[in-house]
A = this chain, B = another copy of it.
Amino acid sequence: MPATITIASGATWEEVAADRQRHRDISLASFKPSLLNLPASSIPADATAIPRSILTAQDVEITEKNVEDLVLMLASGRWSAKTVVQAFMRRAALAQQLTNCVTELLPEQALKRAAELDDHLAATRKPIGPLHGVPISVKEHIGMKGLDLNAGFVGWVGRVAEEDAHILQILWAAGAVFYVRTTQPQTLMHLETSNNLYGTTVNPYNTTLTAGGSSGGEGAIITLRGSILGIGGGSIRSPAANNGVFGFKPTALRLPVGGWSATMTGADHIVPTIGPLSTSLEGVLLFVRTILHARPWLKEPSLVPIPWKDEVQLGEEGKGIKLRIGVIWDDEVVRPHPPVVAALSQVVEKLRGSNEVEVMDWQCYKHDLAWDIIAKLYFCDGGAEEKAAIDASGEPLRPLSKWILEENPHVQEHTISTLWQAHRERDAYRASYAAVWNERGVDVILCPVGPGVAPKLDTSRYWGYTAQWNLLNYPAVVFPTGIKVGRDTPGVGTEDLDAHEYPADYKPMSSADAYNYGLWKEHGVKGYAGAPVSLQLVGRMYEDEKLLRALDILLDAAGLAKTC
């Protein structure tokens, strides 16, 4: 393998990026026989049907299993780990051509690992662990021993992980096969995925839209079933929602984060999280259970030692055992686009007809204040580390880096005194929200994931619907409703959007709302055609198990699928 070209070795940022892309293309090259040699211009806006039309029947069969079924095929030896991972590598390579979601395939190490697992099963007749042979895709910011760990900065190319990230070690011990790394945005602080190394990751359902971020590569590859279980970090919910897959952001300090790469390490004002994206709710559950079963807190002492709980208590104590769901229609800052309101209405209507759940409206408690508080805590050094990482190569700021770092009025260089003040505001807000929740006694909150479906590229500016729960450190899970924008396109939902259109005399509630309203007026149903509509379910801090159980109940009650 040729040496990595880096800024330190005297290259320009463009040369470094070109080398990274070359490296990626070489890793994909051996999968050429099965790849359609598609020129970008011939890819239809909705690319989701393409892989199935190209792959062999067996590859399709394998890659269209969900995790819970795939593990059975692998553990029984009906499919070898090698056969399975080869199918996923072929489909991942296709996903890359369609959405630009891959930074490198790992055929050598994946095939070696698969052989090891196949040998183990042959010798012992037992799977090595609960994830025996399951291929898992990994966002590039999670360290893999011996591989580049650049955090999306051109200037950081050449940094190599000394060991696998903690979470990978656990998944490895459970039998996982790592075979592909996926894209991340510059700064990791976009709700989209674009950087100067690989360009922009687009949405498989409509390639004029973003795949979301910062785990957009995971979102896109999972939609296209180049993976059925992947590791993301940060929002997790934005890419899951934009791509219509399941995504779970756990309570911080439950799942390990040791060994990832980003700026601002040591900034624990808002603790970041890693979590799974999957084609199925069961995939999410298996991931989380497997990790907690390994007691990661013994190695990573910042974690809270709460084992996975199978039993959860639903309903307000003494008020029966129905799942109680509070519904946020809008956050009183930005009204979601009509498809989101329509999908939420349809789901809530079904829930109201169910005997298993109780539904009530949830009036937001100062969500505008929440954004002020968290935005002040995101870049406590005034963005100095971000800027240094960017300036290290001379690469330009991507539009959304510019937006979050330079056009965000909340960015300030804190002193210790202003930092403590910001902590106090955060803690007071959390206590107030807890008091509100105590009073209302719901189990979970059902709400939008963002102010619309997958946005047009470089327009994802409003973070409120996800950042709100980051500030509160509430776990949140995203699920697809099965509804897609554009009634007239075959195969999409039938909800009548018109009933949820903005009123003719709509007056925006805020400047962010005016921007969002303008996007809808500009692009409308045609502009967002094909985009899946997803929703978010939110639980109280550390009630991750209850949240996932609640989603299971909700999906049943609303007649929605647990897979996609």
- Seen from chain A, the residues whose Cβ lies within 8 Å of a Cβ on chain B are 258, 264-268, 297-302, 304-306, 380-382, 384-385, 413-417, 419-424, 427, 430-431, 433-435, 438, 472-473, 541-542
Contact = CB atoms under 8 A, between A and B. Distances in A.
A267 B299 CA distance: 26
A264 B420 contact: yes
A267 B420 contact: yes
A299 B434 contact: yes
B301 A431 contact: yes
Given A299-B431, A381-B416, 16 more contacts: A264-B420, A266-B419, A266-B420, A266-B423, A297-B541, A297-B542, A298-B434, A299-B435, A301-B430, A302-B427, A302-B430, A304-B304, A304-B542, A305-B306, A381-B417, A413-B416
Contacts of A423: 266-268
Contact of A298 (B381, B438, B473): B438
Nearest to A381: B416
10 contacts: A265-B420, A266-B422, A267-B420, A297-B541, A297-B542, A299-B431, A300-B434, A306-B306, A381-B417, A385-B417
Contacts of A420: 264-267, 381
A542 B434 contact: no
Q: Copies of this chain, how many?
A: 2
A384 B421 CA distance: 14
A258 B283 CA distance: 39
Given A416-B381, A416-B413, A542-B305, A421 B299 contact: no
A42 B411 CA distance: 64
B266 A421 contact: yes
Contact of A416 (B414, B438, B472): B414
A465 to B, nearest CB: 20
A34 to B, nearest CB: 43
A416 B265 contact: no
B434 A301 contact: yes
Contacts of A266: 419-424, 427
Contacts of A415: 381, 415
Nearest to A430: B301
A362 to B, nearest CB: 17
Contact of A438 (B299, B380, B414): B299
A159 to B, nearest CB: 16
A420 B380 CA distance: 10
A541 B433 CA distance: 28
A430 B266 CA distance: 13
Contact of A258 (B297, B298, B431): B431
Contacts of A430: 301-302
Contacts of A267: 416, 420, 423
Contacts of A435: 299
Nearest to A298: B438
Shortest 5 CB-CB contacts between residues of A and residues of B:
A266-B420, A266-B423, A266-B424, A381-B416, A301-B434
A179 B427 CA distance: 31
Contacts of A300: 431, 434
A16 B245 CA distance: 65
Contacts of A473: 301
Nearest to A423: B266
Contact of A301 (B305, B380, B541): B541
A236 to B, nearest CB: 21
A267 B268 CA distance: 12
Contacts of A433: 301
A35 B473 CA distance: 54
Contacts of A268: 423
A327 B44 CA distance: 69
A299 B380 CA distance: 28
Contacts of A304: 304, 306, 542
A409 B413 CA distance: 26
Contacts of A381: 415-417, 420
Contacts of A306: 304-306
A514 B122 CA distance: 65
Nearest to A269: B268
Residue among A298, A380, A420, A431 having the largest count of chain B Cβ atoms under 10 Å: A420
A542 B300 CA distance: 13
A503 to B, nearest CB: 37
Nearest to A427: B302
A395 B506 CA distance: 61
A39 to B, nearest CB: 46
Nearest to A422: B266
Contacts of A424: 265-266
A373 to B, nearest CB: 12
A540 to B, nearest CB: 8
Contacts of A541: 297, 301, 305
Contacts of A305: 306, 541-542
Contacts of A413: 416
Nearest to A265: B424
A218 to B, nearest CB: 26
